[in-house]
């Protein structure tokens, strides 16, 4: 059985909440050894972000909730009090043999502990040091803390999300999940992987990788932001309407809704045939996509009236046969019951101390040669403290017990 792509890579992970942990979870999935440093007693802030929690076998209150579980599989949890010199020294000792160190503290916070990039680089010049923040390491906002929803607002995402102006409920709207955190995590893992490759081919040089939520959300707006950069006009909110092919959006049927995206002129003609309106395909006003965009409001209204005549399945069956991209609007129960999702194995089972068959979401990357098949449960708080200190730093039982007595671990 071949090893995983990152087997042999060691990561010291000081990140908390979501963006940083998503990045390190990706790397753990790919085979890296990720040592997650948590506060004694409380641990990662995410552990206190509310229910649902796993059920403790003894009925005791615990800190293993869904927020933590979604971003920390495959890691080792070590509890350390970073406010104490002894805790700081343990991190430095671990970092001496690490490939990567990750953190998401406020800019400058770790310098007072001797755990900033320059301090760690001095003891390990080849270290890849990744900082994940709300606003980056430079700029007037650098000292600020940042959470996903704040950056959705400040980065422009909310301005183009929500119902169209003039419709009920109009106004800026937050995207449901913490999507900026997730994308920032992906950028973090990409940056780390690129820096690891650069180190390998360029004589062992490490570097500081700076990723932040604000940069990420702006970059993620892609063609929406590019519209503004091209013509200086702020794009309006379009609700569920598409921003390329037209017509595209949610259409109500007799028993529910579906999502339709007509991406080109051929798909448009075939959609008109499915709707029983071939006249729309030959109407000069709608022949080309640019024409349909120009007359989008009236065309969407016509399509809305047609879709109201039949149930969802009727339309989806016809559109699929015609080769037109469309789909149902599923809730999570429908998603994980979908035969295609089940075939793709997006729900995986792991053994957790509180749940022998805990469901998690699998890594979205599929490798032909080094598949990710062995998922490990997110750790309980401090689960691996003794193991890591003994195996990596050579601490004996007496020293570990002394550190516990001093509440350093």
Provide the annotated active-site residues.
Answer: 181
C-alpha pair distances (Å), 117 with each of 105, 113, 122: 12, 11, 8
C-alpha pair distances (Å), 360 with each of 28, 72, 124, 182: 14, 11, 35, 16
Which letter does DSSP use for residue 78 in this model? Answer: E
Tell me the chain's radius of gyration from C-alpha atoms: 25
Question: What is the helix (H) or strand (E) element at residue 132, kind and residue range?
Answer: strand 128-133
* Pick from 221, 218, 175, 216: nearest CA to 20: 216
Residues sharing a CB contact under 8 Å with residue 405, sequence separation 6 or more, in sequence order:
none
Quickly count: other Cβ atoms within 10 Å of residue 212's Cβ.
Answer: 27
- For the beta sheet containing 326-328, the strands, ordered from the edge strand earlier in sequence to the opposite edge, are 248-252, 257-261, 326-328
Quote the tokens at residue 18.
């979501």
Quote the tokens at residue 241.
């309407």
Report how far residue 175's alpha carbon sits from residue 218's, in angstroms, rounded to the nearest whole number.
Answer: 15
Question: What is the helix (H) or strand (E) element at residue 120, kind and residue range?
Answer: helix 117-123
CB 98 within 8 A of CB 123: no
Residue that has been written with the tokens 């409380």 in this structure: 42
Kindly report the backbone phi and psi dihedral angles of residue 330, in degrees, each rounded to the nearest multiple of 5, phi listed first. -90, 145
């Amino acid at each position: 059985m071949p090893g995983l792509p990152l087997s042999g890579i060691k990561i010291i992970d000081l990140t908390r909440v979501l963006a940083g942990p998503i990045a390190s979870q990706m790397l753990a999935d790919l085979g890296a050894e990720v040592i997650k440093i948590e506060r004694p007693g409380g641990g990662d802030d995410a552990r206190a972000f509310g229910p649902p929690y796993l059920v403790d076998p003894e009925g005791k209150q615990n800190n293993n909730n869904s927020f933590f579980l979604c971003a920390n599989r495959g890691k080792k949890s070590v509890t350390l009090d970073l406010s104490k010199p002894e805790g700081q020294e343990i991190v430095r000792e671990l970092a001496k043999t690490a490939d990567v160190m990750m953190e998401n503290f406020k800019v400058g916070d770790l310098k007072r502990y001797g755990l900033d990039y320059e301090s760690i680089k001095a003891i390990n010049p080849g270290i890849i040091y990744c900082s994940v923040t709300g606003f980056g390491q430079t700029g007037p906002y650098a000292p600020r803390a940042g959470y996903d929803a704040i950056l959705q607002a400040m980065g422009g995402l909310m301005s183009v999300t929500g119902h169209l102006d003039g419709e009920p409920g109009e106004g800026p709207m937050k995207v449901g999940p913490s999507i900026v955190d997730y994308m920032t995590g992906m950028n973090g893992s990409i940056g780390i992987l690129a820096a690891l490759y650069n180190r390998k081919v360029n004589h062992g040089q490490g570097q500081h990788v700076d990723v932040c939520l604000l940069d990420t959300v702006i970059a993620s707006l892609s063609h929406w932001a590019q519209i503004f950069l091209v013509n200086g006009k702020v794009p309006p909110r379009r609700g569920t309407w598409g921003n390329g092919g037209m017509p595209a959006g949610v259409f109500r049927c007799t028993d529910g809704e579906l999502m339709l995206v007509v991406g080109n002129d051929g798909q448009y003609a075939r959609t008109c045939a499915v709707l029983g309106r071939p006249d729309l395909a030959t109407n000069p006003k709608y022949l080309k996509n640019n024409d349909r965009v120009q007359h989008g409001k009236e065309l969407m209204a016509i399509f809305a009236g047609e879709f109201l005549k039949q149930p969802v399945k009727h339309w989806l069956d016809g559109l699929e046969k015609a080769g037109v991209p469309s789909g149902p609007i599923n809730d999570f129960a429908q998603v994980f019951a979908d035969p295609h999702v089940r075939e793709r194995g997006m729900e995986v089972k792991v053994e957790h101390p509180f749940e022998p068959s805990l469901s998690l979401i699998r890594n979205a990357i599929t490798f032909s040669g080094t598949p990710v098949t062995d998922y490990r449960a997110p750790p309980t708080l401090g689960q691996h403290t003794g193991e890591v200190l003994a195996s990596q730093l050579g601490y004996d039982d007496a020293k570990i017990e002394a550190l516990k007595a001093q509440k350093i671990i």
